[in-house]
Amino acid sequence: MKFLLDTHCWLWLQTQRRRFDDDLLEALADPSSRRYLSAASGWEIAIKHAIGKLPLPEPPAVYVPERMRLSRFEGLAVSHVHALAVADLPPHHRDPFDRILIAQARLEGLMLVTADSALDPYDVTMIRPQSAWSNRRRERIVRP
Protein backbone atom coordinates (compact mmCIF):
# COMPACT_ATOMS: atom_id res chain seq x y z
CA MET A 1 0.00 0.00 0.00
CA LYS A 2 1.15 3.51 -0.73
CA PHE A 3 0.10 6.32 1.61
CA LEU A 4 0.43 10.09 1.33
CA LEU A 5 -0.26 11.78 4.64
CA ASP A 6 -1.90 15.18 4.80
CA THR A 7 0.22 17.60 6.82
CA HIS A 8 -1.98 17.50 9.93
CA CYS A 9 -2.06 13.69 9.92
CA TRP A 10 1.71 13.47 9.62
CA LEU A 11 2.08 15.86 12.56
CA TRP A 12 -0.45 13.83 14.57
CA LEU A 13 1.51 10.69 13.81
CA GLN A 14 4.56 12.31 15.42
CA THR A 15 2.89 13.50 18.62
CA GLN A 16 -0.71 12.30 18.92
CA ARG A 17 -0.78 8.72 17.70
CA ARG A 18 -4.02 8.16 19.63
CA ARG A 19 -5.77 10.00 16.79
CA PHE A 20 -5.10 6.93 14.61
CA ASP A 21 -6.78 3.61 15.08
CA ASP A 22 -4.53 0.61 15.66
CA ASP A 23 -5.32 -0.99 12.31
CA LEU A 24 -4.16 2.05 10.35
CA LEU A 25 -1.05 2.38 12.50
CA GLU A 26 -0.31 -1.27 11.75
CA ALA A 27 -0.82 -0.72 8.00
CA LEU A 28 1.47 2.33 8.07
CA ALA A 29 4.11 0.36 9.99
CA ASP A 30 3.96 -2.61 7.63
CA PRO A 31 7.38 -2.92 5.96
CA SER A 32 5.71 -3.48 2.58
CA SER A 33 3.84 -0.16 2.82
CA ARG A 34 5.30 3.02 1.40
CA ARG A 35 4.74 6.23 3.36
CA TYR A 36 5.15 9.64 1.77
CA LEU A 37 5.29 13.21 3.01
CA SER A 38 5.00 15.81 0.29
CA ALA A 39 7.47 18.67 0.03
CA ALA A 40 4.32 20.82 0.10
CA SER A 41 3.73 19.61 3.67
CA GLY A 42 7.28 20.56 4.60
CA TRP A 43 6.62 24.01 3.14
CA GLU A 44 3.33 24.30 5.06
CA ILE A 45 5.02 23.25 8.32
CA ALA A 46 7.82 25.79 7.77
CA ILE A 47 5.36 28.61 7.10
CA LYS A 48 3.14 27.82 10.08
CA HIS A 49 6.15 27.50 12.36
CA ALA A 50 7.63 30.81 11.14
CA ILE A 51 4.41 32.73 11.84
CA GLY A 52 4.00 31.17 15.28
CA LYS A 53 1.05 28.89 14.51
CA LEU A 54 2.99 25.63 14.88
CA PRO A 55 5.33 25.25 17.82
CA LEU A 56 7.95 22.56 17.32
CA PRO A 57 10.67 21.32 19.69
CA GLU A 58 13.31 22.25 17.10
CA PRO A 59 13.47 24.16 13.80
CA PRO A 60 11.47 22.60 10.93
CA ALA A 61 14.70 22.02 8.97
CA VAL A 62 15.76 19.60 11.74
CA TYR A 63 12.37 18.33 12.96
CA VAL A 64 10.84 17.26 9.65
CA PRO A 65 13.75 15.29 8.14
CA GLU A 66 14.61 13.64 11.46
CA ARG A 67 11.00 12.53 12.08
CA MET A 68 10.73 11.34 8.47
CA ARG A 69 13.86 9.26 8.95
CA LEU A 70 12.68 7.79 12.25
CA SER A 71 9.24 6.89 10.87
CA ARG A 72 10.60 5.71 7.49
CA PHE A 73 8.71 8.27 5.42
CA GLU A 74 9.87 9.06 1.93
CA GLY A 75 9.83 12.59 0.63
CA LEU A 76 7.63 13.32 -2.35
CA ALA A 77 8.92 16.23 -4.40
CA VAL A 78 6.48 18.62 -6.03
CA SER A 79 7.18 18.36 -9.74
CA HIS A 80 5.93 20.62 -12.51
CA VAL A 81 3.58 17.81 -13.52
CA HIS A 82 2.07 17.84 -10.03
CA ALA A 83 1.83 21.61 -9.92
CA LEU A 84 0.23 21.90 -13.34
CA ALA A 85 -2.27 19.11 -12.59
CA VAL A 86 -3.86 21.40 -9.99
CA ALA A 87 -5.41 23.30 -12.92
CA ASP A 88 -7.43 20.18 -13.79
CA LEU A 89 -8.99 19.91 -10.33
CA PRO A 90 -12.55 21.12 -9.80
CA PRO A 91 -12.74 24.08 -7.39
CA HIS A 92 -14.16 22.08 -4.46
CA HIS A 93 -11.47 23.37 -2.12
CA ARG A 94 -9.23 26.41 -2.39
CA ASP A 95 -6.37 25.59 -0.02
CA PRO A 96 -3.27 25.39 -2.24
CA PHE A 97 -1.51 22.86 0.02
CA ASP A 98 -4.48 20.49 -0.07
CA ARG A 99 -4.89 20.92 -3.82
CA ILE A 100 -1.30 19.93 -4.52
CA LEU A 101 -1.68 16.87 -2.25
CA ILE A 102 -4.79 15.85 -4.20
CA ALA A 103 -2.91 16.26 -7.49
CA GLN A 104 0.02 14.23 -6.19
CA ALA A 105 -2.20 11.45 -4.84
CA ARG A 106 -4.06 11.24 -8.17
CA LEU A 107 -0.95 11.20 -10.33
CA GLU A 108 1.10 8.86 -8.14
CA GLY A 109 -1.70 6.43 -7.23
CA LEU A 110 -1.47 7.14 -3.51
CA MET A 111 -4.11 6.85 -0.81
CA LEU A 112 -4.43 10.17 1.00
CA VAL A 113 -4.65 9.91 4.78
CA THR A 114 -6.60 12.95 5.92
CA ALA A 115 -9.23 13.98 8.43
CA ASP A 116 -10.34 16.85 6.17
CA SER A 117 -13.81 15.97 4.85
CA ALA A 118 -13.71 19.05 2.59
CA LEU A 119 -11.51 16.95 0.28
CA ASP A 120 -14.13 14.22 -0.15
CA PRO A 121 -15.47 15.45 -3.52
CA TYR A 122 -12.14 14.76 -5.24
CA ASP A 123 -11.52 11.54 -7.12
CA VAL A 124 -8.84 10.24 -4.78
CA THR A 125 -9.00 7.36 -2.33
CA MET A 126 -8.93 8.93 1.13
CA ILE A 127 -8.45 7.20 4.43
CA ARG A 128 -9.64 8.63 7.71
CA PRO A 129 -7.24 8.18 10.63
CA GLN A 130 -9.98 7.54 13.21
CA SER A 131 -12.19 4.74 11.88
CA ALA A 132 -11.42 1.04 11.78
CA TRP A 133 -9.11 -0.01 8.98
CA SER A 134 -10.08 -3.62 8.56
CA ASN A 135 -13.52 -4.30 10.05
CA ARG A 136 -15.26 -1.21 8.74
CA ARG A 137 -13.17 -0.56 5.66
CA ARG A 138 -16.09 0.82 3.64
CA GLU A 139 -16.76 3.47 6.27
CA ARG A 140 -13.12 4.40 6.46
CA ILE A 141 -12.26 4.79 2.81
CA VAL A 142 -13.93 7.57 0.88
CA ARG A 143 -13.91 6.84 -2.81
CA PRO A 144 -14.97 9.14 -5.61
Handedness of CA 104, 9, 32, 36 (dihedral sign): positive
> Quick one: pLDDT at residue 93?
86
Q: What ranges do the domains of the chain cover?
A: 2-142
Q: Which helix (H) or strand (E) holds 134?
A: none
Alpha helices in the chain (DSSP H): 7-15, 22-29, 39-50, 60-70, 80-85, 96-108, 137-140
φ, ψ for residue 141, nearest 5 deg: -95, 130
Q: Mean pLDDT in runs of 10 for the chain (144 residues)?
A: 97 94 93 97 98 97 98 97 97 93 98 94 92 45 49
May I ask the CATH architecture of the domain 2-142? 3-Layer(aba) Sandwich (3.40)
